[in-house]
Amino acid sequence: MSLTSPEVSAFADRVTAYLQRLERATDALLPPASTHPERLHHALRYACEGGKHLRALMVYAAGETLGVPAEQLDPAACAVELIHAYSLVHDDLPGMDNDDLRRGRPTVHKAFDEATAILVGDALQTFAFEALVNASALNAEQKVRMIRSLAHASGSLGMVGGQAVDMASENLTLTVAQLESLHARKTGALILVTCQLAGIAANAPEAVEIALERYGKCIGLAFQIQDDVLDQIADTATLGKTAGKDLAQNKSTFPSLMGLEQARQRADALFDEARDAARSLPGNAEPLLWLADHIQQRNH
Ligand code: GRG
């Protein structure tokens, strides 16, 4: 079955195949664990294991809606997951969140050591851009546009800047607008760029780019609100990471500022807006609608 035949079956039936594509692309890019220096390469692969791969699925879902063949989406799917994995490894370090548990197992600095975890993050970041440079199914202009978008989303005006603001905001009570702005960068930028990368692969016109961005922004913020809610209500075993961290670190969260029920309602409204944006796209919106439902129903 072709991965790009939405009329044949629902996106849910193609998720396993997409995740296999992602695994193959990542496996081909990263050196085997036996490559010198072995400890680094072993840790590099360890950092990429587990995870829900929602960002990769967003690339595939948005690309499928726009009719892009899967081989043109693999490099972007791989690249966003590598940036995401690096951000989690660095976020867990003692100098940042100081966490022992990630994806249900010891964090990279616990399973290996702190210096290795720093280097793993550094190397994952450079491999992400290598994935885009190597993309043989994309033309040179598409590659440059993808590299620019991913660099912008992950750098100091995106994810890294959001992390800096987040750390500086500990023990402060933010306004909801300040919290939204922080998360638009820290978590939202990388989620948004998944849609932008799919748009670049599709050579999408501006109107389509705008609708894709609306979908990506709504999903990004809804995802973070949900993350705050889950941190408060779920247990460590379900989350696969330490529950209740936000309260322990005295961080402003959506439930702490608006109350649990209102935070949930805000997330639900954003998921609805994302679905509206998906329906406004040309093509079959089913993959993006499925993904919005899938993320909305997550428990970890
Ligand atoms: C250290 C540069 C740097 C950035 C860190 C994203 C981030 C910035 C830190 C992660 C902290 C955190 C738990 C944020 C909440 C949202 C989030 C990114 C959750 C983890 O994403 P999932 O649930 O993870 O998609 P999996 O494990 O499924 O890949």
Note the pLDDT tens digit of each residue in 185-241.
999 999 999 999 999 999 999 999 999 999 999 999 999 999 999 988 888 888 888
Q: Tell me the pLDDT of the chain averaged across its residues.
A: 94
Q: Which pLDDT value is given to residue 234?
A: 83
pLDDT of 155 above 80:
yes
Average pLDDT over residues 11-15: 93
Distance (Å) from CA 90 to ligand 1 centroid: 10
pLDDT of 164 above 60:
yes
Class of residue 139 by CB neighbours under 10 A (exposed 0-12, middle 13-18, buried 19+):
exposed
Q: Which pLDDT value is given to residue 2?
A: 40
Global confidence as pTM: 0.94
Q: Which pLDDT value is given to residue 1?
A: 36
Distance (Å) from CA 33 to ligand 1 centroid: 24
* Residue 17 banded pLDDT, cuts 50, 70, 90: very high
pLDDT of 4 above 90:
no
Q: Which pLDDT value is given to residue 239?
A: 81
The protein residue whose alpha carbon is closest to atom 5 in ligand 1 is 87
Rounded to 5°, the CA angle 63-64-67 comes to 90
* Residue 5 banded pLDDT, cuts 50, 70, 90: very low
Distance CA 215, CA 270 (A): 9
Q: Name all residues whose Cβ lies below 6 A of ligand 1.
A: 51-52, 54, 84, 87-88, 90-91, 96, 103, 159-160, 163, 186-187, 224, 227
| Domains with residue ranges and CATH for the chain | 11-296 (1.10.600.10)
